[in-house]
Amino acid sequence: MIGVFDSGFGGLTKLSAFIDELPEYDYIYLGDNARAPYGDHSKGIITEYTRQGVRFLFDKGANLVILACNTASSNALRTLQEEEIRGPQVKDRNILGVIFPIAEEVARLKAKRIGLIGTRATVESGVYREEISKGLKDFELTQKACPLLVPLIEQGWVNRPETMEILESYLEEVKAANPEILVPGCTHYSILQDEIEEIMGPEVKVLETGKIVARSLRDYLGRHPEIESRLGKNGRRKFYCTDSPEEFKKIGETFFGHGIEQVELAKLG
């Protein structure tokens, strides 16, 4: 199975993109909604929470775990790759994040002025700048932490005027830098894709990060038959959360864009 881990609901947008691109595989999703959002926690706490989630997914039979959460990817991925997938006994599994494929796409587009919005932890990690610089040497990156967006989205306030005012306020500084590309550096922001595009205007390319990561996953599986061959291909979907499965199912379907038959409770830590 392919495991998808997120701090809550946002990773369901990535899972939806994976299923659109690679529908034949079995997927298992874990949203740590009891402890969301991760964005205002310290690196140590984010790493520990993510470690627990990754181990849960491996224990449930995942061979490949995707950290759909930008905050987890920017703060915990490297540590967990060192801890959880090194050694001869784990050659057939891996942990991947979402930041590298997005940064790779930014570099491929050769933009000179880049905007980024994300959680405080993602912005402060500096990982996007580091990863983009591996493929693009001459660029300006304007970053903006948007701590209020995740809780507003998860509370269903997407279409409220208050949310639009906050979003416009956050984007004002980024837009003033006249970027050619904007990176929505949080899984939740896909829910606001149309609103972000409207505010930024037609001259700014707002990346559709789900599609980018899904294409990267297809490429990865093609290059790693030792993992791909072990993945189930029965089109099965399993969902876990850490608090209130009924509420998770209801809210999660908005992010997922499809029906969710059942959500089971996961105990971490």
**Residues 4/68, Cβ–Cβ less than 8 Å:** yes
The domain segmentation of the chain, as residue ranges, is: 2-97+211-265, 100-209
Name the fold adopted by 100-209: Rossmann fold (3.40.50)
More confident residue, 216 or 154: 216
Peptide bond into 37 cis (omega under 30): yes
pLDDT one-digit tens code per residue, 58-104:
999 999 999 999 999 999 999 999 998 876 556 689 999 999 999 99
What pTM value is reported for the model? Answer: 0.94
pLDDT above 90 (res 182): yes
3 state SS of 141: strand
- What is the percentage of the chain residues whose pLDDT exceeds 90? 93
pLDDT one-digit tens code per residue, 220-247:
999 999 999 999 999 999 999 999 999 9
Same fold, 2-97+211-265 and 100-209: yes
pLDDT above 90 (res 28): yes
Q: Which CATH architecture has domain 2-97+211-265?
A: 3-Layer(aba) Sandwich (3.40)
Rg (CA), the chain: 18
What pLDDT is recorded for position 89? Answer: 55
Strands 264-265 and 205-206: unpaired
Strands of the 113-118 sheet, one edge to the other = 140-145, 113-118, 181-185, 205-206
Query: What sign has the CA pseudo-torsion 42, 184, 93, 24?
Result: positive
Would you give the distance in Å from CA 161 to the centre of its chain?
26
Tell me the β-bridge partners of 264: 240
Q: What positions carry a catalytic annotation?
A: 69, 186
